[in-house]
Amino acid sequence: MFCQITFLSFLLSVMVFPASLFADSLARIEVHPQQISLQSARDRVQLVITAISKNGATQDITHDVSFRLLNPAIAKIENSVVLPRSNGKTDISIQFGQLEAILPVTVSDQSEPDPVRFQNETLAILTKQGCNAGSCHGSPQGKGGFSLSLFAYDSQIDKKALVREGFNRRTNIYDPDESLMLKKPLLRIPHVGGKRLRKADITYQILHQWIYEGAGDDPENAPRCTSIAVYPQPERILRMPHVQQQMRVLANFDDGSQRDITHLATFDTSHDEIATVDAMGQVTGTAQGQSAITVRYLEFLESVYFTVVDARKDSAWPDIPENNYVDQFVNQRLQLLKILPATTCADTIFLRRTFLDLTGLLPTAERAREFLKNTEKDKREVLIDQLLASDEFAHFQALRLADLLRINAEVMTDGRAKLFADWIALAVKSNMPFDDFARKIITARGDSHTVPATNYFMALPQTTDIAEATSQIFMGSRIQCAKCHNHPFENWTQNDYYSISAVFSRIQRSETKITISPEGDLQHPHTGQVMKPWGSETSASTTDKEPAEVDPRADFASWLTAHDNPYFARVEVNRIWKSLFGQGIVEPVDDFRSSNPPSNVALLDALADDFVQNDYDRKHIFRVVCNSQTYQRSTISAREITAVNTLFSHANVRLLTAEQLSDAIGYVTETLRPASEIPQWVDQMQGELAAVKAELQDQQLTWEETLHTRMQQAAYWHGGWWSTRPFIATDQSAAHHDIFPPEEQLDGQPADLPWDDGEMWSFEKDWEPGQTHTYEEKRPAAVYAYHPIFANRKATLRLSFVADDGMKFWHDGQVVYDRMQITDDGQNSRDIELHPGLNHLFFKASNGGGAFHFTVKMDYVKATEAAAPQLVDIAGHAAAILHTPRPQRSEIQFQLLKEYHFAVDGRIPALRKRLNLGGRFDYATQRPYPEQTDFLKAFGQPKRASACVCERVGDPTLEQALQMLNGTVMTDKVNRSVKRYLKLDDQEVVEELYLAAFSRFPQPVERNSATAHLSRSGKPREASIRDLVWAIMNTQEFMFQH
Amino acid sequence: MNTKAPLFFTLILSWMVPPIQANEVSFSRHVAPILLQRCAGCHGPKKAEGGFRLHTFQFLTTLADSGNPLIVSGQPERSELFRRLVESSVDLRMPQEDDALGSAEIDVIRQWILSGAKFDGEDEAVAYRSQLPPRNHPTAPEFYRTTIPIYALAFSPNGTQLAVGGYHEINVWDSASGQLTKRIGNLPQRIQEIAWLDEQQLVVSGGTPGEYGEVCVADISSQSRIRVIGTFTDIVMSIGLNSTKDQVVAGCADQRSRVYSVTDGKLLWEAQVHSDWVTGAKFSSDDRFVATSSRDQTVKVHEAKEGTLYTTYNGHRKQLGEFTGRFAVYDVCFHPETGEALSLGEGEAIRIWNPEKAHVENGDASDMEGRFFKKGHTRFVRFGAESPMFHIAVVLSDILISGRSGVVKSFDFSTGEPKQTFQGHDDWIFCVDGNMDATRIAAGSFNGTVIIWDALTGETCSQFKAAPGLEK
């Protein structure tokens, strides 16, 4: 009898597995777990059986072995799961070919009750079957009138919904088969969610059992899960054709017990084109690559990384040059997957690639020529060092950081955007260690006009916004989901979310200041528990300080920048990697989670380690990566083009970013001067500025006289308008009555007003009397306006007001009109007597919230007065000075009049604006906050509304094609390029153009056809040059980086 | 012809037709139930796997995506419908990922196709789920394995008997002694509401959630269902008789309300004005109105004669003043003398209101602003125990309310003052009733316990598990 069974099983195994596959190589089989104790009638153990070859390679044979129970009355085996039968002990013999393993089994407590646990089983099953997913009954409104808590975060809601709601509609404890909650997912009655259960499923049987036992809640002392363990861990390689792997999940409970919960856990795959996983934890590899299998049970989550290796005959691995450790780790991975890397790219490609990646700019034709002719062996290394030391590198990297830190001149007004951006550029240029950089930002406090880094908080109005942005930028973690529920694919729980938020809850902000309040604890919105700020446990600094002095951000920064922090260094080196390859090792770069594995764990770890060892020196990482053979590979892969180049076997062809493209067009057309000429250019502009100033100074007297004469001839003239931005108040009454800073100045001399684009007042050159002024501000607020009138004789002026709420009006410092609510009742106008000389008119419009408009109409009461000539283009204070005879003027008045003269001459403000940005005004890659133009937006310029890298979109669009073919930017620049090329002969034009656009010399055939086009008769040479420039820039070679 | 008639005729016919002969297979009676239960889940109104549906007969006669006819009359082997049931390949056999049909069921379908595949329903285009004849219910369990929640109980007119809903049955208990006297079996799975016609007969509503609902008449002496009044596609949650007990209103979880003649089962009208389960349905004491409450947070008042909507009571959705919130309504009834309606559900208070005043207060769009700030006429009586309240009964001058907290409370109708709290239950109480002279009050709970109290003293007269044969 025994003989027969053995023979039969042997026969079976031989039939299923050709002995040739294993006979030579297999050394032993390993059974997990090594012994089994089944302690209740419902206990079960999933076996995982591995064959290990002589060279250590593993192969899952769980479903391929034959089992033999020595005493079949004790236990049984179904689909490699061991189930109890009766109390006792026995052994299981596991056979695979010639190999055998013995597994001892103990079965006990078979008559002890083991009721189904509501939380640990019923709810876990609802999650596993997808019932409480966000798109099904877990959505806030539920589905079909049946609503569960999302991923079972609230067991009481679920208990009520399943058992009580609708008069116990969904469960039938007398006859569980008749329960709606089973009949629907079995599709015994129509169910929009489709078939979710089969009667043969163990999950169905458990739900059934739970209902049979009375559909009850757990007793108070029911064991709570404390952790889960997954086998195998942490990774497995599946070599085709052996692409199966059974997983096993074990839960540890707070009473010290353990249970196999493989049947209750939820399995997901990160890349289902590479590996799939079924409900019982059986993984199947389908294509070469890497995928994370994520195991969820209640709020616990573990991931196992699977690499699927294609079986290929050709496993020859040629000698591939390795420049440094980057190549070593990249090649290890490629060798495992038998992917041959591409060869080293040509100098032209390297030059253009490195320039674009490091500085955002193309090399100039001159620079390209020089590099290509250089025959030094280390010229690439030298170039990398030169670029890393350049200003252009600093400014381009600052742009990238400014994207992340959301520098926005509309939020950070009064020059604060520039302040913050300059600080970032300086940090990059001086190569500030990145941990210092992060710490300075996270712990910044003070006035945002003087402490640049405080501006980080200006773009983030809420405490939770800060927590979310900071996590995304420095931890590469999107924790937003955990605001409302434990994240289904990440270890971040709701507690973690509010604990991170608590770090920032003491931040207090006034209009422009960031201070830390001694109070401001954050409570968990559900439990009401006061949250301990994240990182405070790891630091001793809090204990010996007074609570008032504690800034939880400091502890958080220490935790974040600690050498062993699992996120900080990895996230930053990955961002650097992404900027150089167009593809992160973790992708997206701000979505680090265990269910989203790095494509090369060892590489990421090595880079992060190097970063930490070198004191978070970003330039060092740039240097290491750029010098690697991996970075210098060509875009043409050696053997095959894989759809996604996640292992860096070759370089990626990438569309230039919006800013790169804009500047590249500028370079080729020479509408943009090379950045290397910036210092020279700045000098030139300063010269121009001085010249204009000198010219105006020379004309000063003539200018004054002309103006003065015109003023004498006028009966009265109106100076322009000045206004303030809205001042926010608690309500309209406060807005109307409260004295805001400028109100004290209302009876002062207008000359005291800072008249240019200073802090408080701005000159409104487009305003006219009778015009309606509209404000976006929806909160209660007040605005001020100032308007001077100079009269040469007396006159009566009627002012009529229209406003949503109140208006106040001063004439020479006296309040002459004051109404909280203006209505159309005949009381909304006031006559004033203008006296000869300067009349100061101040207005205040107050608003209670919502729509905010006001209008001031001015009419001369006598028609003759109205007919008199008026001047509206002289500022009041300037006019007042002009009225003062020169000998009586003060030094300040002279100065002010001179400044006014400069300001009304358009050239000076334009020059100043350019100089203000250090001569980088025309560049897109060299400015921290380039203007949002249609061209840049079309190519994916981010709006900076969030910290997400997804803001910068890279997908090709029709609009991009239109912009490149005949957009206004393109047309204009192509036209202007003629100036540069017209002075060269045909050969030179073609060579210059190719070097500028492609960083290479034209090939003979290109040279011939291009020169032929230029010398074609019957067309003006300008037009031919335009054609050629346009055509070159519309090639893929130009628009893409190779 | 009245559009309601076909349904009515089907029902009439179904009472009169004797049990079917073995050689005679009816589509409606034999085939449709199988298709409904085993096929329409995937091939039905909500999903159409493989491109076809079979919840109406019309769909059965159209071609599937495969191009093969589902039914070829007289030739089961050429009919896709039959072939897929007996297919040997698991990948092709229907139902997919489920147990195969039993041989008896397969034979029914074979016989029906052989005998010509005739349709014997009313309308080929209408889902036959709503045309199904009444079910033959299984017998009730002789011994209960466990208690079941009690959804319905009612004192007989003279108060001597107490009918309590069981599993596929009604149990009648002697209200004085608390002894089980009669069991009426073969009734719908769950008994949701009971209304006595006299000491012999009761109107019963119930069904199987999500599938089937029924209103029928049960008889004490024959211990059986003697008449089916109507069937529904979901459980009938509530019924109410008019004052002459010749009409019954039924509120169903399929969002419909219907009024039938009790004596001949004639459907008088049907309304589908709620957007969620209808939880309560009652006639006003003057038989002018029918009120239906719903989980959609409204109570609808219909003209009892034609079923036209008279007004919608929105007092369970309040945004201003006291008792604000949006609450599902679980029951409604009328005060026999004042004609006022009483409604309750989620929330803290019962609403007492007059349908005519509610009608006026609803007004029209032109006076909306004025109405917003006008205080409604509704009287709010605070329950004073844990929400929600499930059931309401009015006995003489008292209001009886049962709720989740395991207590029944009585209130004086005119003053709204709480009078008595009836204790002893420790689970949700879905139903409460008082006898005619208001001397006894009975309530049944989720855990299957019935308690009968002395209405005056609040003392427990008897307490029992309404689960015959249950062994402790």
CB contact under 8 A, B208 and A178: yes
Sort out which chain B residues have CB atoms less than 8 A from A194's CB and list them.
42, 47
Question: A195 to chain B: nearest residue by CA?
Answer: B42
pLDDT greater at residue B144 or residue A550? B144
If you average pLDDT over residues A117-122, what whole number do you get? 95
Restricting to A residues 195-254, those with a Cβ less than 8 Å away from any Cβ of B are 195, 198-199, 214
Sort out which chain A residues have CB atoms less than 8 A from B46's CB and list them.
190-192
pLDDT, tens digit (0-9, with 9 covering 90-100), for A773-796: 888 788 888 888 888 787 877 888
Strand bridging mode B349-353 / B379-382:
antiparallel
Restricting to B residues 270-289, those with a Cβ less than 8 Å away from any Cβ of A are 276-277
Q: For residue A797, how far is the Cα from the chain centroid?
A: 57
Sort out which chain B residues have CB atoms less than 8 A from A193's CB and list them.
none
Cis peptide before A588 (omega within 30 of 0): yes
* pLDDT value of position B187: 96
Sort out which chain A residues have CB atoms less than 8 A from B37's CB and list them.
188-189
If you average pLDDT over residues A948-955, what whole number do you get? 76
CB contact under 8 A, B41 and A187: yes
Q: Which two tokens stand for residue A112?
A: 């002890």
CB contact under 8 A, A190 and B41: yes
CB contact under 8 A, B210 and A189: yes
CB contact under 8 A, A169 and B210: yes
Domain at A2-107: CATH architecture: Sandwich (2.60)
- In whole angstroms, give the CA distance from residue A333 to residue A326: 11
Question: A200 to chain B: nearest residue by CA?
Answer: B98
* pLDDT value of position B472: 53
Class of domain B153-465: mainly beta
Q: A174, A184, A192, A217: best mutation site toward chain B, by most B Cβ within 10 Å?
A: A174
Distance from the Cα of B36 to chain A's closest Cα (Å) equals: 7
Q: B34, B47, B236: best mutation site toward chain A, by most A Cβ within 10 Å?
A: B47
Restricting to B residues 20-79, those with a Cβ less than 8 Å away from any Cβ of A are 37-38, 40-42, 44-47
- In whole angstroms, give the CA distance from residue A239 to residue A241: 6
Q: What is A715-883's CATH topology?
A: Immunoglobulin-like (2.60.40)
Q: Does B453 reach chain A within 8 Å, measured CB to CB?
A: no
pLDDT-derived band at A868, boundaries 50, 70, 90: low
Q: Does A1031 reach chain B within 8 Å, measured CB to CB?
A: no
pTM given for the model: 0.71
Decide if pLDDT at A129 tops 70: yes
CB contact under 8 A, B210 and A192: no
pLDDT-derived band at A677, boundaries 50, 70, 90: confident
- In whole angstroms, give the CA distance from residue A355 to residue A901: 44
Q: Which two tokens stand for residue A383?
A: 């170039």
Distance from the Cα of A631 to chain B's closest Cα (Å) equals: 50
* pLDDT value of position A877: 66
Sort out which chain A residues have CB atoms less than 8 A from B145's CB and list them.
174
Q: Does B428 reach chain A within 8 Å, measured CB to CB?
A: yes
Same fold, A225-309 and A715-883: yes
What angle do the packed helices A907-916 and A678-713 form, to 10 degrees?
150
If you average pLDDT over residues A309-326, what whole number do you get? 80
CB contact under 8 A, A169 and B144: no
Question: B140 to chain A: nearest residue by CA?
Answer: A174
* pLDDT value of position A757: 40
* pLDDT value of position A618: 95
pLDDT, tens digit (0-9, with 9 covering 90-100), for A742-758: 555 555 444 445 443 44
Residues 6 or more apart whose Cβ sits within 8 Å of residue A337: A288, A289, A307, A309, A310, A647
Say which of B41, B146, B192 has its CB closest to residue A173: B146
Decide if pLDDT at A953 tops 50: yes
Buried b (16+ CB within 10 A) or exposed e, A800-814: ebbbbbbbbbbbeee
Distance from the Cα of B347 to chain A's closest Cα (Å) equals: 15
CB contact under 8 A, A168 and B151: yes
Q: Which two tokens stand for residue B173?
A: 């208990």
* pLDDT value of position B418: 94
CB contact under 8 A, A170 and B295: no
Question: A184 to chain B: nearest residue by CA?
Answer: B41
Q: What percent of chain A has pLDDT over 90?
A: 41
Q: For the residues of B354-369, what is the DSSP string, one character each?
A: -HHHHHHHH--GGGHH
* pLDDT value of position A62: 94
Which residues are registered as beta bridge partners of B224?
B219
Max mean pLDDT among A526-540, A599-613, A968-982, B73-87 falls in A599-613
Q: Does B468 reach chain A within 8 Å, measured CB to CB?
A: no
pLDDT, tens digit (0-9, with 9 covering 90-100), for A93-115: 999 988 899 999 999 999 999 99
Sort out which chain B residues have CB atoms less than 8 A from A189's CB and list them.
37, 40-41, 210-211
CB contact under 8 A, A189 and B446: no
CB contact under 8 A, A195 and B167: no
CB contact under 8 A, B208 and A187: no
Q: Which two tokens stand for residue B88?
A: 């040997």
CB contact under 8 A, B210 and A184: yes
Residue B85: C-alpha distances to residues B49, B88, B111, B117 (Å)? 15, 9, 14, 16
Parse chain B into domains and list their residue ranges.
Answer: 5-131, 153-465
Decide if pLDDT at A1028 tops 60: yes
Say which of B98, B148, B208 has its CB closest to residue A174: B148
Q: Does A2 reach chain B within 8 Å, measured CB to CB?
A: no
If you average pLDDT over residues A544-552, what whole number do you get? 63
Q: Does B174 reach chain A within 8 Å, measured CB to CB?
A: no
CB contact under 8 A, B47 and A183: no
Distance from the Cα of B99 to chain A's closest Cα (Å) equals: 8
Q: Does B326 reach chain A within 8 Å, measured CB to CB?
A: no
Q: B55, B211, B236: best mutation site toward chain A, by most A Cβ within 10 Å?
A: B211
* pLDDT value of position A642: 54
Parse chain A into domains and list their residue ranges.
Answer: 2-107, 118-212, 225-309, 347-392+568-654, 433-488+498-561, 715-883, 958-1041
State in Å, rounded, how far the first CA of chain A is from the last one: 71
Q: Do B161 and B132 contact (CB within 8 A), yes or no?
A: no
Q: Which two tokens stand for residue A773?
A: 């002024």
* pLDDT value of position A759: 55
Q: In the predicted model, what is the mean pLDDT of chain A? A: 85
Q: A143, A168, A184, A187: best mutation site toward chain B, by most B Cβ within 10 Å?
A: A187
pLDDT-derived band at A549, boundaries 50, 70, 90: low
CB contact under 8 A, A214 and B146: yes
* pLDDT value of position A767: 79
pLDDT, tens digit (0-9, with 9 covering 90-100), for A236-287: 989 888 899 999 999 999 999 999 999 999 999 988 889 999 999 999 999 8
Q: Does A168 reach chain B within 8 Å, measured CB to CB?
A: yes
Q: Do A608 and A573 contact (CB within 8 A), yes or no?
A: yes
Q: What is the pLDDT along chain B (472 residues), one digit of tens a residue?
A: 344 444 444 443 333 333 444 457 888 888 888 888 788 777 877 677 777 788 788 888 876 666 778 888 888 888 888 988 888 887 888 887 777 888 888 999 999 999 888 888 777 777 776 667 788 999 999 999 999 999 999 999 999 999 999 999 999 999 888 899 999 999 999 999 999 999 999 999 999 999 899 999 999 999 999 999 999 989 999 999 999 999 999 999 999 999 999 999 999 999 999 999 999 999 999 999 999 999 999 999 999 999 999 999 999 998 877 888 999 999 999 999 999 999 999 999 999 999 999 998 887 666 666 666 667 889 999 999 998 999 999 988 899 999 998 999 999 999 999 999 999 999 999 999 999 888 999 999 999 999 999 998 999 999 999 999 886 5
Question: A190 to chain B: nearest residue by CA?
Answer: B41
pLDDT greater at residue B227 or residue A189? B227
Sort out which chain B residues have CB atoms less than 8 A from A199's CB and list them.
98-99
**What ipTM was predicted for this assembly?**
0.85
Q: Does A192 reach chain B within 8 Å, measured CB to CB?
A: yes
Question: A179 to chain B: nearest residue by CA?
Answer: B209
Say which of B151, B189, B211 has its CB closest to residue A189: B211
Sort out which chain A residues have CB atoms less than 8 A from B445's CB and list them.
none
If you average pLDDT over residues A380-407, what whole number do you get? 92
- In whole angstroms, give the CA distance from residue A640 to residue A620: 33
Distance from the Cα of A179 to chain B's closest Cα (Å) equals: 8
Answer yes or no: CATH 2.60.40.1080 is held by domain A225-309: yes
Q: Which two tokens stand for residue A1003?
A: 């090939």
Which residue has 């003491």 as its token pair? A506
CB contact under 8 A, B40 and A174: no
Q: For residue A737, how far is the Cα from the chain centroid?
A: 44
If you average pLDDT over residues A157-162, what whole number do you get? 92
* pLDDT value of position A22: 47
Q: Do B229 and B206 contact (CB within 8 A), yes or no?
A: no
